[in-house]
Amino acid sequence: MPLLRPKNHSRSHAKTAHSQRGFVMIEMMLAVAIVGTAMLATVSAFSTASKTARFVQETTTAEWLATSQIELIRVATFQLTPGTYTTVPAPTGYSVANVTSGVAGGDSNIQIVTVTVSRGADDVYETSAMKVNR
């Protein structure tokens, strides 16, 4: 027994197939856009994490150098103000400087020592301590 088909079956089938292809293409474009956005967010997160890690490492090294310098100054012989103390050795790229200044009131046996740690041309960390001539 022959199957009865509507006369417009082939045309109707062609429209449905063409419509399906367009729908699949839109789905693919949306999928690519979503994956692309996710990848962009991931790359951005890695970049931010890298910058943050570099900043933390730089700051930690600078704080360590400044603390070491203050400890060296505490045990050093009192230098007259204005003056400087011997500096601690610094890793490549870093430099340590210190300078003394008098305190308000003019007591020459008390001084403020300011320690500055730089990396390249940028000051990374600065701290001060008092030193007394005993």
Host H or E run for residue 130 = strand 122-132
Residue 5 confidence (pLDDT) above 70: no
Give the pLDDT of residue 62: 97
pTM check: above 0.85: no
On whether residue 14 sits in a domain, the answer given is yes
Quote the pLDDT of residue 79. Answer: 92
106 lies in some domain: yes
β-partners of residue 123 are: 118
Task: Please give the single-letter amino acid code of residue 39.
Answer: M
- CA angle 125–129–134, rounded 5-degree value: 150
pLDDT at residue 120, as a whole number: 93
Q: Is 70 inside a domain boundary?
A: yes
Which structural domain range is residue 101 located in? 9-132
Strands (E), 7-109: 94-102
Residue 3: the pLDDT is 58
> Considering the domain boundaries, does residue 58 fall inside one?
yes
In the predicted structure, residue 4 carries a pLDDT above the cut 80: no
Q: What is the pLDDT of residues 61-104, one digit of tens each?
A: 999 999 999 999 999 999 998 999 999 999 999 999 999 999 88
pLDDT at 105 over 90: no
Q: Is residue 112 within 8 Å of residue 103, measured between CB atoms?
A: yes
Question: Looking at the domain assignment, is residue 1 inside a domain?
Answer: no
Does residue 4 fall inside a structural domain?
no
Decide if 3 is inside a domain.
no
Considering its fold, how many domains does the chain have in total? 1
Alpha-carbon distance of 88 to 66, in angstroms, equals 9
CB 95 within 8 A of CB 113: no
121 within a domain of the structure (yes/no): yes
Convert the pLDDT of each residue in 16-68 to its tens digit.
655 666 778 889 999 999 999 999 999 999 999 999 999 999 999 999 999 99
Residues with Cβ within 8 Å of residue 78, at least 6 apart in sequence? 109, 111, 131, 132, 133, 134
Place of tokens 């430099």: 95
